[in-house]
Amino acid sequence: MMMNAQQYEDSLRKLNLKVYMFGERVASVVDDPIIRPSMNAVALTYELAHQPEFADIMTATSHLSGKKINRFTHIHQSVADLVMKSKMGRLMGSQTGCCFQRCVGMDALNALSMTTFDIDKKHGTAYYKRFIDYLTFVQENDLTCDGAMTDPKGDRSLPPHQQHDPDMYLRVVEEKPDGIVVRGAKAHQTGAVNSHEIIIMPTISMRREDMDYAVSFALPADADGITYIMGRQSCDTRKLEGKTFDIGNVLYGGHEALVVFDDVFVPWERVFMFKEYDFAGQLVEQFASYHRQSYACKVGVGDVLIGAAQSIAEFNGAAKASHIKDKIIEMNQLNETLYCGCIACAAEGHQEPCGTYYVNTLLANVHKQNITRFPYEIARLAQDIAGGLMVTLPSEKDLLSPEVGKWVRKYYQTQKNVPLESRLRILRLIENLTLGTAAVGYLTESMHGAGSPQAQRIMISRQVDMNAKKKLAQKLCGITEDN
């Protein structure tokens, strides 16, 4: 069954999540004004799946049941699926102007479909069957999954087993007849408290000495022993002010959390890797490549920011200036170049032995490397066009004040036919996207999400066939093996 937005919200109300923010436990993540906008963004992934104009992008046919499912629960069955995934990311980014949080779970499911199959082939295990049973459960219930990979890591110069505190990487602390007990944490978890399930994966390649850390499993998000500690975002408490335009994006938002596992029990049927350290690196690489493709979402957010920059230029009466036109062109050129990357790695995808289609890893990493750079330049240009008022603007309360509101209206008015409030709303949106809560998803996440920039450069160096390039050059200038 594909849920709609209301059914999704109702399903979250049934969870008993242990969430802390500002040092206090959150009574209801659904109703909390700071968390609610992020839930709205996830809810839109459900709502658009029921709208006919978006059906091709937002839904797919399950290869397990043959039923229509939300694409966020789908295992890619063709290059066309990979391309549609990129289109879905851009669509959702453009509709929400923020992170909509379901990509990481989708990417975890697809990576596990490949890695569990390969583990079974080498070690004679039964992980792939477990995974398929779990996937069936996710698809039938249209669940949002939080894919959790990033560990706190502690001392980066030491491997997991040499850490001063062994819990700096999530690990198995006990093995029981009916399952395992795990301890540790996962950091920077986007959309964690809006998820029904949490899927754990190792964060780095492992050696034999690290085998207790080579573990992958899935649990209900409200399983006993799991605690969520919400991360702060710039301007986050503005959301407590109600529907004021000072928020910037008055509809949607995102969130991140530290997820703590305090001796949490995992039944065997939910375990997809248990000490197979030789496959930890493969799972990391496959997930990361999928997730680097997923940054098509930043193209969609870029669409919003470019539209905001054009709007404020028009509201200010500056849209016809040649330098403004050139900056808008540059923003579009950079944004569409990003789109080229995510479409290219999808179009060059291939089928793995398990049947799942996998992106071209070189192009996925090139795409993500560009994501670490271009959104920052797009944001810089947007701030340039917006002008300093973006960060010196008085609050909406000042605008409405009987004492000083008349001065705000008098001195911030531009063209007669442009409502002042429209100008102020666009300025706040640009602030939100480039400096406020949305900047976490558009800028910082662009830099560090799906691995640091250096992680992509390492993958690029591994994937590029330099010997082939040398042979091409040497052939054309007459160098042979004989000279």
Residue type, 84: M
Kindly report the backbone phi and psi dihedral angles of residue 227, in degrees, each rounded to the nearest multiple of 5, phi listed first. -125, 135
Burial of 218 (0-12, 13-18, 19+ CB in 10 A): buried
Beta strands 226-230 and 19-21 are parallel
- CA angle 21-153-215, nearest 5°? 95
Active site residues: 99, 103, 190, 256, 291, 295, 297, 445
User: How far, rounded to the nearest angstrom, does the alpha carbon of residue 383 sit from its chain's CA centroid?
Assistant: 24
Q: Cα–Cα distance between 412 and 218 in angstroms, integer? A: 53
β-bridge mates for residue 20, sequence order: 25, 229
Let me know: does 272 contact 65? Beta carbons within 8 Å: no
Q: Cα–Cα distance between 160 and 162 in angstroms, integer? A: 6
Question: Alpha-carbon torsion 360, 362, 365, 367, what sign?
Answer: negative
Nearest to 95 by CA among 258, 301, 256, 259: 301
User: How many other CB atoms are found less than 10 A from the CB of residue 175?
Assistant: 12
In order of 63, 213, 378, 380, 452, the CA distances from 335 in angstroms are 33, 39, 8, 13, 20
- 3-state secondary structure (DSSP) of residue 152: coil
